[in-house]
Amino acid sequence: MFSELIQLSFDKIMQTRSYTVIILAAQGKRFAIYTDPSIGKALQMYLTGTEKQRPLTHDLIDSIFQGLDVRIKQVVINDLQDTVYYARLFIEQTIDDIRHIIEIDARPSDCIILALMNNVPVFCTKEVLDRTVPIEE
């Protein structure tokens, strides 16, 4: 079944010792995805251009994709169960002039970092957006 996709924008990140909050926005609505502090730290390092002594996990994944000539096409947050979000990472690779699109189950927080690193869009389904709890400033 086809679901309408709504493009999200990255609004901001808030970090505490015990968790990270990623704020996303679409159609005048803002909502939060909570994740562990290590994801928040990686995201903040990317956003601020902080030099890293060694590649982090997302850098490794990105390097592997580049080495295999794989492009990230888009991220879709496709489900929300209780307070847990689910996402799909869509990647593309051309082999022998045949374009392959692969859909991978992944955490939204990991997908958001890879999407920002590669300047690709993040979407959610209309059903997910309708079910998110809006947050106010």
Domain contains 137? no
As beta bridge partners, residue 137 has none
Domain contains 22? yes
Residue 4 neighbours by CB distance under 10 Å: 10
Band (pLDDT 50/70/90 cuts) for residue 2 is: low
Residue-level pLDDT at 23: 93
Domain contains 136? no
Q: What's the structural domain count of the chain? A: 1
Question: Which range of residues forms the domain containing residue 123?
Answer: 5-131
Domain contains 60? yes
Q: How far apart are CA 45 and CA 110, in angstroms?
A: 14
pLDDT in tens, 39-92: 888 888 888 888 889 988 999 999 999 999 999 999 999 999 998 999 999 999
What are 129's two structure tokens? 């957006």
Domain contains 30? yes
pTM for the complete prediction?
0.90
CATH of the domain at 108: 3.10.690.10
Domain contains 47? yes
